């Protein structure tokens, strides 16, 4: 049985057997619904009426809900049988606290009785998906932006940075903007999120963005409940916030400047190799016009070496940037489990949860 690879994001959980040339078989909301009548959590993930997010800004926050969700994924979704559990590889977000890594390995061995465990950092895995071991990953997900320089498969933690901005903040921004331009309407956040995924885009550059704020094409959209809303300049405001965080009320630099600043903290002989292998990934980076704008801003950088985006290899399935951490995990699983580099049940029984730091580098 192939190992299972799990990338549990703040919005989407990607899970499937380690088949790197295929998309993960399960891409489901990382959400659980509370069932008040019996006081138990449902084991059915839902899209609406969500009351529990087991993962917040990248990290597992509600372990009971996570356990129920993983139970659903492994036994119902992927068909594991109780008593015959397999091996699992998890993707770790940047700067995962040691205690969280230990708790996860403990949950997997003690509650799920798995036969083997491995965990690796999302930034490294996203590079593997593109066939690289060195480069800089810019992962723009739902709950966070992680910028991580990686040299020979090792994240340069001292130069890495986590920003607590992600797709969720862009959804909230769009909700606020649509409320202003469509007074009297009542749009649920899940509808706003869908609108964002359909319409949000990045202008070519800052001047073009300013132009869109004066005039731009108006789109009409009918929501599932029949309300008709119009969307125009808001779609550009959402994309621009990644390049001008002041739109979100934050005093941060834009994403390209942040990347260059992170790299400046790495030894200078690595700057070229890192910047010229920049990988942008995560669902938010799939926004219309994002890569073009990113590259345009990168070309305007005052630094001697400018970031260059790595193109997805032809053999990768379409839209892979959304799932690159999972795909890199599938590639790594093909190495660590057959070569016995993983944490075995015997290792765990002998050393306890701290084994994860020694074996999963």
Ligand X SMILES: Nc1ncnc2c1ncn2[C@@H]1O[C@H](COP(=O)(O)OP(=O)(O)OP(=O)(O)O)[C@@H](O)[C@H]1O
Binding site for ligand X (CB under 6 A): 9-12, 58, 141-144, 166-168, 193, 196-197, 200, 282-284, 286-287, 322
The listed partner (Mg ion, ligand X, none) that binds 360, CB under 5 to 8 Å by sort, is none
Judged by beta carbon, residue 54 or residue 141, the one nearer ligand X is: 141
The listed partner (ligand X, Mg ion, none) that binds 60, CB under 5 to 8 Å by sort, is none
The listed partner (Mg ion, ligand X, none) that binds 239, CB under 5 to 8 Å by sort, is none
The listed partner (Mg ion, ligand X, none) that binds 283, CB under 5 to 8 Å by sort, is ligand X
For residue 47, how far is the Cα from the chain centroid? 18
The listed partner (ligand X, Mg ion, none) that binds 286, CB under 5 to 8 Å by sort, is ligand X
Site for Mg ion in 2-61 (CB under 5 A): 9
Q: How far is the CB of 349 from ligand X (least distance, A)?
A: 31
Judged by beta carbon, residue 109 or residue 326, the one nearer ligand X is: 326
Q: How far is the CB of 252 from ligand X (least distance, A)?
A: 16
Bridging pattern class, strands 55-56 and 59-60: antiparallel
Q: How far is the CB of 116 from Mg ion (least distance, A)?
A: 23
Cross-strand partners of 322: none
Q: How far is the CB of 171 from Mg ion (least distance, A)?
A: 15
Judged by beta carbon, residue 321 or residue 355, the one nearer ligand X is: 321
Judged by beta carbon, residue 232 or residue 276, the one nearer ligand X is: 232
- What's the burial of 288, exposed, middle or buried (CB within 10 Å: 0-12/13-18/19+)? middle
Q: How far is the CB of 9 from Mg ion (least distance, A)?
A: 4
Q: How far is the CB of 309 from Mg ion (least distance, A)?
A: 18
Q: How far is the CB of 319 from Mg ion (least distance, A)?
A: 14
Judged by beta carbon, residue 284 or residue 344, the one nearer Mg ion is: 284
d(CA 282, CA 243): 16
Compute the chain's Rg from CA coordinates: 21
The listed partner (Mg ion, ligand X, none) that binds 24, CB under 5 to 8 Å by sort, is none
Judged by beta carbon, residue 127 or residue 203, the one nearer Mg ion is: 127
The listed partner (ligand X, Mg ion, none) that binds 96, CB under 5 to 8 Å by sort, is none
Number of residues that bind Mg ion (CB under 5 A): 2
Site for Mg ion in 133-162 (CB under 5 A): 141
Which residues form the interface with Mg ion (CB under 5 A)? 9, 141
């Amino acid at each position: 049985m192939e190992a299972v690879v799990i990338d549990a994001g703040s919005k989407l959980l990607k899970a499937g057997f380690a088949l790197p040339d295929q998309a993960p078989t399960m891409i489901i909301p990382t959400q659980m619904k509370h069932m008040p009548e019996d006081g138990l959590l449902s084991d059915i993930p839902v899209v609406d009426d969500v009351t529990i997010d087991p993962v917040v800004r990248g990290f597992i926050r509600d372990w009971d809900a996570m356990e129920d969700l993983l139970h659903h994924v492994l036994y119902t979704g992927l068909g594991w049988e109780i008593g015959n559990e397999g091996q699992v590889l998890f993707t770790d977000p940047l700067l995962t606290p040691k205690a969280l890594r230990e708790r996860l390995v403990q949950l997997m061995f003690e509650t799920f009785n798995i036969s083997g465990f491995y965990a690796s950092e999302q930034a490294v895995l996203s590079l593997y998906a593109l066939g690289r071991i060195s480069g800089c990953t810019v992962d723009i997900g739902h709950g966070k932006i992680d910028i991580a320089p990686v040299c020979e498969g090792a994240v340069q933690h001292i130069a890495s940075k986590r920003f607590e901005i992600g797709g969720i903040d862009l959804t909230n921004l769009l909700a606020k903007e649509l409320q202003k331009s469509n007074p009297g309407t009542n749009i649920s956040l899940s509808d706003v999120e869908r609108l964002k995924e359909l319409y949000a885009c990045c202008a070519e550059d800052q001047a073009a963005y300013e132009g869109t704020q004066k005039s731009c094409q108006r789109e009409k959209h009918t929501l599932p409940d029949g309300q008709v809303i119009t969307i125009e300049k808001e779609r550009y405001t959402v994309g621009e916030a990644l390049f001008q965080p002041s739109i979100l009320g934050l005093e941060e630099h834009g994403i390209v400047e942040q990347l260059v600043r992170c790299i400046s903290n790495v030894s200078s002989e690595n700057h070229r190799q890192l910047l010229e292998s920049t990988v942008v990934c995560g669902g938010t980076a799939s926004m219309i016009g994002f890569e073009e704008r990113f590259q345009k801003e990168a070309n305007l950088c005052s630094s001697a070496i400018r970031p260059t985006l790595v193109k997805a290899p032809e053999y990768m399935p379409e839209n892979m940037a959304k799932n690159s951490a999972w795909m890199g995990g599938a590639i790594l699983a093909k190495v660590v489990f057959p070569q016995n580099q993983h944490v075995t049940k015997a290792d765990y029984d002998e050393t306890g949860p701290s084994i994860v730091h020694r074996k999963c580098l």
